[in-house]
């Protein structure tokens, strides 16, 4: 499917003939009104639904934004199929008044006739039409597939028009035919009206005016646009260079996995295998052909943010191995979405265990201390134990995984940054999780390894106290406020998780809390390095410095559901909040999937 993915990316549609005995024929096409990004998102959504048709040798996926089909014969010229063509109606009437129903039906038939006529006449087999007369507006879109000739397009759209007319006076209707797609609705659902023509085939006055105005605007903006285009070209060259370098690096290394292998390993990304969801994508459990369990992180598309995060994870940690870092096993960049492959860690993330309050997974003091030390060792290795100096930027409970022996393993390096030895700090955009970000980074964007130290300090307090940093109590506020108050009153043991029921060494636990306070100091210079933190935790003879008041203790509001700040806006082509599916009651075929993706 990689070949057809490239074609869709390049031109919005494509066909592929693949293999022999049997030979598979594939067709994918986006509606002409979709943007490039929405087209890619719709195609990816369609691909995720194809595995439901296995083991059938044929499959069709209809979405409102695109169409995908495969079969074991050349179907490209097919226009209609009485067995598999579908009609989907919204039987809710556009109006409760009988006279308005009649008016709506008449207008809808007119729009359906217009849109089919214009689409038949257009070379690309696409058209939109509308009418806004009266109380209720009607909008329609028609699209023939690129592989169908003019005769087939006409035959398909004529049948589609007859089918959707049977949905009237319902407020919406779709015809999902073999060679075309037709939809009408009371809502304007398409992205671009296109060029509307009158009955004689000429442009309407409104369109002529629009063309003239657009021409003048284009002339006025040409010079300015040229300057912007040059800057954009330079930027795109840099991004393509990054992608090319990444592709070359992966293909020449043993990190490369085939997309199909990982698809099968995760049972085609079956929701039952989903381990978690992050800002950059979802993680699924997979089983490779040799029986080895892995974790597969599924990302979407090569936007600038994608390039940064994907390149970081592959380039920064592919050569780093440490017992307290999740190992990157490889990746796949040839499929419709890019995949990262990690070692599988049995016990999921620390927050699932620490805050679950389940007796089956309760963490005693020895386990908590072991997790704290292990996380410190992993961070110390990132900051100075490897050839590359790396700042993680998103240390928190959900990014610390636990193996079968409750060993801590730091995960999710999408926000990580390498840090040259001769630099005092990096100036960068803010990204991370509220409640864990150091003040100098949050306020001024100045990033050093001490930002990780601050996050680690918050993590330590959460582990020892058994409380989330974002949860406030009326009596003592946040966990940071609680520990500081107990420290000032010489009662640190009172801040320790009551669930431990006093089963912990008081001096050791108090020292760990003091280390946590030191790590969360407002001043970067007062915060210890991770190597110093390790020494404080493991050397009983080490004299731990006295902490000062941490920052943010006077803050009154923090979002309890705070999450990673760098997020991408959802697009209409991926909106499945209104999705529906239909199975045929007249055919045994299970190869048709219908889903709203617009």
Is the same domain home to 469 and 498? yes
In this structure, of 64-73, 192-201, 436-445, the range with the lowest mean pLDDT score is 192-201
Is the same domain home to 387 and 515? yes
Average pLDDT of the residues of the chain: 78
Instruction: List C-alpha distances in Å: 569 to 191, 226, 311, 383, 575.
Output: 17, 28, 21, 33, 11
Q: What does the pLDDT look like over 447-471, one tens digit per residue?
A: 889 999 999 999 999 999 999 987 7
| 78 touches 69 (CB < 8 A) | no
Q: Please state, in angstroms and rounded to a whole number, the distance separating the CA atoms of residues 418 and 391.
A: 6
Is the same domain home to 527 and 399? yes
Q: Of residues 588 and 320, which shows the higher confidence score? A: 320
Residue 421 lies in a domain: yes
Per-residue pLDDT band for 193 (boundaries 50, 70, 90) equals very low
Domain that holds residue 322: 251-343
Q: Of residues 553 and 178, which shows the higher confidence score? A: 178
Neighbours of 84 (CB within 10 A): 17
Q: What does the pLDDT look like over 471-513, one tens digit per residue?
A: 766 666 789 999 999 999 999 999 999 999 999 999 999 999 9
Mean of pLDDT values over 197-212: 44
Residue 493 lies in a domain: yes
Is the same domain home to 385 and 331? no
| 452 touches 383 (CB < 8 A) | yes
What pLDDT, on the 0 to 100 scale, is given for residue 131? 87
Q: What does the pLDDT look like over 506-532, one tens digit per residue?
A: 999 999 999 999 999 988 989 999 999
Q: What does the pLDDT look like over 88-117, one tens digit per residue?
A: 998 787 666 776 788 889 999 999 999 999
Is the same domain home to 387 and 296? no
394 is known as an active-site residue:
yes
Residue 29 lies in a domain: yes
CATH number of the structural domain spanning residue 283: 3.30.200.20
Q: What does the pLDDT look like over 316-328, one tens digit per residue?
A: 677 788 999 998 8
Instruction: Tally the C-alpha atoms within 13 A of residue 525's C-alpha that lie toward its C-beta.
Output: 0
Q: Please state, in angstroms and rounded to a whole number, the distance separating the CA atoms of residues 318 and 387.
A: 12
Is the same domain home to 315 and 358? no
DSSP line for 191-216: S-----B-TTSPBPHHHHHHHHHHHH
Residue 241 lies in a domain: no
What pLDDT, on the 0 to 100 scale, is given for residue 381? 93
- Structure letter (DSSP) for residue 550: P
Is the same domain home to 429 and 284? no
What pLDDT, on the 0 to 100 scale, is given for residue 363? 93
Q: Is the pLDDT of residue 333 over 80?
A: no
Q: Is the pLDDT of residue 257 over 70?
A: yes
Gyration radius of the chain's alpha carbons: 30
In this structure, of 139-153, 296-310, 375-389, 413-427, the range with the lowest mean pLDDT score is 413-427
Q: Of residues 144 and 362, which shows the higher confidence score? A: 144
Q: Where are the beta strands (DSSP E) in 19-117?
A: 24-30, 59-63, 66-71, 86-93
Residue 506 lies in a domain: yes
Which of 206-220, 285-299, 472-486 has the highest average model confidence (pLDDT)? Answer: 285-299
Closest by CA position to 259, among listed 318, 342, 339, 314:
339
What pLDDT, on the 0 to 100 scale, is given for residue 284? 94
Is the same domain home to 166 and 290? no
Which class for 2: exposed (0-12), middle (13-18), buried (19 or more C-beta within 10 A)? middle
Residue 556 lies in a domain: no
Q: Is the pLDDT of residue 420 over 60?
A: no
Which of 394, 412, 452, 497 is catalytic? The answer is 394
Is the same domain home to 336 and 366? no
What pLDDT, on the 0 to 100 scale, is given for residue 570? 30
Interhelix angle 449-465/506-519, nearest 10 degrees: 150
Residue 22 lies in a domain: yes
Domain count within the chain: 4
What pLDDT, on the 0 to 100 scale, is given for residue 418? 57
Is the same domain home to 113 and 48? no
What pLDDT, on the 0 to 100 scale, is given for residue 499? 92
Is the same domain home to 55 and 156? no
Q: Is the pLDDT of residue 560 over 80?
A: no
Q: In angstroms, how far is CA 298 from the centroid of its own chain?
A: 8
Residue 551 lies in a domain: no
Alpha helices in 466-588 (DSSP H): 479-488, 506-519, 530-538
Is the same domain home to 109 and 36? no
Q: 3-class SS at 25?
A: strand
Mean of pLDDT values over 357-382: 90
What pLDDT, on the 0 to 100 scale, is given for residue 530? 96
Q: In angstroms, how far is CA 141 from the centroid of its own chain?
A: 29
């Amino acid at each position: 499917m990689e070949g057809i993915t490239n074609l869709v990316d390049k031109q919005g549609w494509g066909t592929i003939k693949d293999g022999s005995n049997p030979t598979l024929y594939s067709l994918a096409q986006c509606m002409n009104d979709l943007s490039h990004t929405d087209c890619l998102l719709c195609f990816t959504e369609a691909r995720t639904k194809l595995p439901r048709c296995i083991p059938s040798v044929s499959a069709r996926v209809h979405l409102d934004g695109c169409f995908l089909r495969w079969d074991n014969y050349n179907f490209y010229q097919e226009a209609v199929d009485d067995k598999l063509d579908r009609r989907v109606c919204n039987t809710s009437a556009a109006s409760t008044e009988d006279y308005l129903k009649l008016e709506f039906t008449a207008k809808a038939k007119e729009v359906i006739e217009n849109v089919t006529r214009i689409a038949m006449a257009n070379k690309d087999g696409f058209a939109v039409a509308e009418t806004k007369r009266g109380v209720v507006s009607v909008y329609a879109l028609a699209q023939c597939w690129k592989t169908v000739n003019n005769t087939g397009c006409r035959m398909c759209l004529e049948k589609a028009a007859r089918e959707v007319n049977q949905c009237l006076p319902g407020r919406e209707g779709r015809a999902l035919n073999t060679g075309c797609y037709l939809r009408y609705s009371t809502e304007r659902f398409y992205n671009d009206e296109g060029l509307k023509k009158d009955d004689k085939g000429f442009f309407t006055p409104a369109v002529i005016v629009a063309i003239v105005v657009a021409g003048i605007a284009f002339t006025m903006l040409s010079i300015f646009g040229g300057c912007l285009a040059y800057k954009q070209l330079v930027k795109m060259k840099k991004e393509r260079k990054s992608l090319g370098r990444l592709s070359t690096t992966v293909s020449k290394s043993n990190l490369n996995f085939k997309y199909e292998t990982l698809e099968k390993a995760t049972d085609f990304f079956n929701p039952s295998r989903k381990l978690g969801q992050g800002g950059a994508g979802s993680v699924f459990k997979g089983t490779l052909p040799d029986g080895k369990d892995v974790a597969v992180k599924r990302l979407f598309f090569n936007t600038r943010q994608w390039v940064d995060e994907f390149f970081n994870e592959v380039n920064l940690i592919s050569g780093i191995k440490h017992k307290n870092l999740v190992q990157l096993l490889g990746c796949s960049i040839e499929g419709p979405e890019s995949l990262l492959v990690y070692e599988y860690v049995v016990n999921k993330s620390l927050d699932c265990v620490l805050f679950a309050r389940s007796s089956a997974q309760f963490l005693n003091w020895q386990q908590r201390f072991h997790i704290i030390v292990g996380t410190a060792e992993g961070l110390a290795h990132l900051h100075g134990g490897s050839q590359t100096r790396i700042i993680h930027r998103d240390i928190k409970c959900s990014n610390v995984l636990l193996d079968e022996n409750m060993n801590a393993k730091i995960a999710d390096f999408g926000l990580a940054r390498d840090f040259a030895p001769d630099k005092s700090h990096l100036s960068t955009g803010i990204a991370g999780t509220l409640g864990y970000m150091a003040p100098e980074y949050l306020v001024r964007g100045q990033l050093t390894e001490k930002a990780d130290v601050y996050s680690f300090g918050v993590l330590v307090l959460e582990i020892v106290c058994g409380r989330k940093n974002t949860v406030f109590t009326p009596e003592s506020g946040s966990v940071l406020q609680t520990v500081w108050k107990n420290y000032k009153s010489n009662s640190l043991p009172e801040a320790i998780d009551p669930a431990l029921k006093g089963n912990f060494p008081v001096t050791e636990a108090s020292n760990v809390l003091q280390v946590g306070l030191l790590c969360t100091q407002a001043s970067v210079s007062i915060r210890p390095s991770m190597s110093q933190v390790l020494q404080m935790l493991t050397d009983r003879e080490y004299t731990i410095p006295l902490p000062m008041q941490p920052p943010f203790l006077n803050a009154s509001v923090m979002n309890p559901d705070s999450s990673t700040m760098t997020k991408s806006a959802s697009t209409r082509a991926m909106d499945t909040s209104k999705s529906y599916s239909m199975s045929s009651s007249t055919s045994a075929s299970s190869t048709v999937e219908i889903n709203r993706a617009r």
